[in-house]
Structure 1
Amino acid sequence: MNLNLLIENLTSPALLFFVMGILVVHLKSDLEIPKSSSKFISLYLLFSIGFNGGRELAHSHFSMEIIWTVLFGVITALIIPIYTFYLLRRKLSIENSGAIAAAYGSISAVTFVTAVSFLEIQQISYSGHMVALMALMEAPAIIVGVALISLYGKKDNTSPKMSSLIGHSFSNGSVLMILGSLIIGFVASESQAQGIAPFTNDIFKGFLAIFLLDMGIISGRKLADFIKSGWFTTLFAIIIPVINGCIVAWASGLVTGNVGDRFMLAILAASASYIAVPAAMKMAVPKANPGLYLPMALAVTFPFNITFGMPLYMALIVI
């Protein structure tokens, strides 16, 4: 089962386009996706996931399982930055430790989008409330990361208030797009949803492939410089996501029996933010070095998760 999943994942067009993007950089090609197009595609992917999640949520029945699943996800987002902060403090500064801990406690919307495609290939469904949970897991880790930096670092009166950080987390463009689309998908009637189905469903995989090509190009540009930063951060960016993903893949069975939901919980725990957290850290902790936490999440953890991580977490769930 492990080998079949791995082979199928490694040969998916979306992943191969990501690899192509890395090769483009090494070949020093002038191929690139315009920034305006890349932003539109990322917004489209979040819109599609959010809208379809809202449709699924409209068809599902509210239950205690949903409450326990959401609580499980939020608690996960609170625990991960705490224990990773103390691991990172052995080698890195307080500011860098807090920023990296926040990134790994938070989630990657792009990894979530890729996981949706992975589940579709496996013909496994997931619940609509997982989309809402993804948005809810963004802010807690940022708050914990900043709180730990404030607790152990030097007091700085110029630091923004916690309330402004919470507001910034939920006003982040990616969070607003996916939550807004979720609500619209929830309230839309079946006939209205079918009217835009060709846009929300039929072209999704094509846009995902182009987006991952762009992610491959960005990762390729950051990878070389990051490798020079040392072995500790590289190993951390691989080992910690595996630990988080494997533990959640197993423990999630305590709150839900849905294979798709357990997989999504695992991939959210294993992913690392490289959009919302860098934006928040730039405002809250300017001393933290984005040259560390950004390449760790984008150039190491993200490629690992979409190649080897996803088949691993799924295999643990279906054993």
Structure 2
Amino acid sequence: MNSIDPVILFFLFGLVAGLLRSELKLPSALYDSLSIFLLLAIGLKGGQGLATQPLGPLLPQLLAVVVLGVVQTLIAFGALRAIFRFDRPNAAATAAHYGSVSVATFAVAAAWLSSRSIDVEPQMAILLAVMEIPAILVGIVLARGVSKDTDWRSLGHEAFLGKGVTLLLGGMAIGWAAGPEGLQPIKIMYFDLFKAVLALFLLEMGLIVSRQVDELKRRGLSLIAFGLAMPLLSACLGLGTGMMLGFSVGGMTMLATLAASASYIAVPAAMRIAVPEANPAVSLAGSLGVTFPFNILAGIPLYHWMATQLTGATP
């Protein structure tokens, strides 16, 4: 019988502790430090892989994931407006969350695939960074259109130079410039300890998710239904895109996971600037309270199974 991945158990521990109103709480500074570590580690690993391959084939892949992010945002917005009857600002903000990506979900998927010796294309870290941005811009246009009052400077700064994107791109640049040999002195820190740090990060994520229960109760079944249905649809789009790009089973699984995930860092920060009338608790209740737990508990193995079925590979 396969044992449960310990990082998942850390998440469940934090979730149960939060639901029971335990006094357990990680210092906010530690949570920020763990986030920085994970983003840098993901970037370094991706940059190391890119140092060993040509960059030319990346261009069609970058275009494909930009289109994927835009399509996901439009589908989510249409569903939230037509089926779930969200008002325009909240529908646009929530759609932007679901058109973007979750770094934590990516990290869990990377650890899950690595523990099973399933190879993944190294450029996934670049695709992760690129997929943060299109949904933000589309979400703003859906919320208010383009007008002379739009503060494009602040918005562009938040979208392209936010903490997450900066750390990912910076880590990739360092990994690419140093190469596998140059990274050896820091390998034990950023590579070997990655899963241990991820476990501690997910403990805090479990505590955070437990705080979304009240908003889920207020929104009822509609937010739960959307939070489960949208990642499944997005995963299918991600799998199709990965197959079209010729990715391996691991790469298809990772792209499906990215497509199925929902942002809870970059997009909320941008939406606060561009769509202040949207209630951030609504979007976060869906992305953190429903979609994130679903993806890390059941989604990732499901997407891998779907990828093996599509390619005819052995699970």
TM-score bin (small chain):
over 0.9
1:37 aligns to what SS in structure 2?
Answer: helix
Give the aligned partner of residue 129 of structure 2: 135
How many angstroms does 1:173 deviate by? Answer: 0.5
Structure-1 separation of matches of 2:305 and 2:240 = 10
Q: Is the contact made by 1:227 and 1:234 (CA closer than 8 Å) also made in structure 2?
A: no
Give the aligned partner of residue 212 of structure 1: 202
Out of 142, 159, 178, the position equivalent to 1:188 is 178
Give the aligned partner of residue 79 of structure 1: 71
List aligned pairs for 1:1-319, cutoff 5 A.
11-64=4-57, 66-90=58-82, 91-151=85-145, 158-161=149-152, 163-319=153-309
1:36 aligns to what SS in structure 2?
Answer: helix
1:243-292: CA deviation from partner (whole Å, max 9, x where unpaired): 11023224421111312221111111100011111100100000001110
Q: Is the contact made by 2:121 and 2:247 (CA closer than 8 Å) also made in structure 1?
A: no
Q: Is the contact made by 2:43 and 2:175 (CA closer than 8 Å) also made in structure 1?
A: yes
Give the counterpart letter for 1:112 in structure 2: F
Structure-1 separation of matches of 2:187 and 2:10 = 25
Give the counterpart letter for 2:158 in structure 1: H
Change (3 A) 1:31 1:62: same
Unaligned runs of 5+ in 1: none
Give the counterpart letter for 1:194 in structure 2: Q
Structure-1 separation of matches of 2:287 and 2:116 = 26
Runs of 4 or more, structure 1, over 4 Å off, are 155-158
Structure-2 separation of matches of 1:130 and 1:257 = 10
1:101-157: CA deviation from partner (whole Å, max 9, x where unpaired): 111001111111111101111211212211111111111001011111123xxx876
1:31 aligns to what SS in structure 2?
Answer: coil
Structure-1 separation of matches of 2:7 and 2:202 = 6
Q: Is the contact made by 1:223 and 1:295 (CA closer than 8 Å) also made in structure 2?
A: yes
Q: Is the contact made by 2:68 and 2:237 (CA closer than 8 Å) also made in structure 1?
A: no
Structure-2 separation of matches of 1:109 and 1:202 = 19
How many angstroms does 1:53 deviate by? Answer: 0.8
Structure-1 separation of matches of 2:132 and 2:299 = 20
Give the aligned partner of residue 312 of structure 2: none
1:171-200: CA deviation from partner (whole Å, max 9, x where unpaired): 110110110010001001443210111101
Structure-1 separation of matches of 2:56 and 2:148 = 45
Q: Is the contact made by 1:103 and 1:273 (CA closer than 8 Å) also made in structure 2?
A: yes
How many angstroms does 1:170 deviate by? Answer: 1.2
How many angstroms does 1:158 deviate by? Answer: 4.4
Structure-2 separation of matches of 1:276 and 1:142 = 9
Give the counterpart letter for 2:97 in structure 1: A
Structure-2 separation of matches of 1:36 and 1:257 = 38
TM-score by length of 1: 0.92
Larger deviation: 21-30 or 223-232? 223-232
Q: Is the contact made by 1:47 and 1:177 (CA closer than 8 Å) also made in structure 2?
A: yes
Q: Is the contact made by 2:237 and 2:259 (CA closer than 8 Å) also made in structure 1?
A: no
Give the counterpart letter for 2:266 in structure 1: A
Give the paired residue count: 307
Q: Is the contact made by 1:273 and 1:297 (CA closer than 8 Å) also made in structure 2?
A: yes
